[in-house]
């Protein structure tokens, strides 16, 4: 069962069939997908939805559907991922453009980061961020992460250079009172 997390403005919940159309729209938006491998066709978005749900089954954690409390809108995905070949357990976020610049990504990622440190035996959480993705870098900074290295991620047969941002359990423990 996928745990449900709630914040002041958001609900992080398991994936449902009704999430497909909004997820496909998000993944079909070129601006949203600039740093995520490019636009996905609708059939590829379906495979992404299945992968998001399946990650929970295989790993016991994953990315949640992010729902806005005020109107039930499915805004995107936030949570934990660690596929084969990844440099570590990552907290990541992808929201549709209407939800950018309002603090939603930070709010949801804080809840996911808290979940990770309270339930997973990890000493460090990472975020893999394109060097040109300034908005995600700002979210990482607000989470208390700092740039600690670089990596090359192989996704769908292509190499993507990323900056590794990270926060240790000790650093998070010192900051969590502010969350």
- Mean pLDDT estimate for the chain: 95
DSSP 33: T
pLDDT digits (tens, 9 = 90+) for 29-49: 999 999 998 999 999 999 999
Whether residue 1 is predicted with pLDDT greater than 90 in this model: the reply is: no
DSSP codes joined into one string, 79-116: EEE--TT-SS-EEEEEE-GGGTTSSHHHHHHHHHHHHH
pLDDT at 20 over 70: yes
Tell me: the pLDDT tens digits for 78-108?
Answer: 999 998 888 999 999 999 999 999 999 999 9
- pLDDT of 179 over the 70 cut: no
Domains and CATH numbers, the chain: 5-178 (3.40.630.30)
Look at the alpha carbons of 33, 147, 107, 112 in this order and tell me if their dihedral is positive or negative: positive
pTM: 0.95
């Amino acid at each position: 069962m996928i745990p449900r997390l709630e914040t002041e403005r958001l609900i992080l919940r398991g994936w449902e069939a009704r999430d497909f159309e909004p997820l496909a729209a998000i993944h079909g938006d070129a601006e949203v997908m600039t740093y995520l491998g490019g636009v996905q066709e609708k059939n590829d978005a379906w495979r992404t939805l299945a992968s998001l749900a399946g990650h929970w089954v295989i790993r016991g954690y994953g990315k949640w559907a992010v729902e806005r409390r005020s109107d039930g809108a499915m805004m995107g995905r936030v949570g934990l991922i660690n596929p084969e070949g990844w440099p570590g357990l990552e907290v990541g976020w992808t929201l549709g453009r209407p939800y950018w610049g309002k603090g939603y990504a930070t709010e949801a990622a804080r809840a996911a980061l808290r979940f990770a440190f309270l339930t997973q035996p990890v000493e460090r959480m990472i975020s893999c961020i394109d060097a040109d993705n300034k908005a995600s870098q700002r979210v990482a900074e607000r989470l208390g992460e700092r740039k600690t290295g670089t990596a090359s991620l192989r996704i769908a047969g292509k190499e993507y250079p990323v900056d590794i941002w990270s926060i240790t359990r000790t650093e998070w423990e010192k900051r969590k009172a502010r969350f």
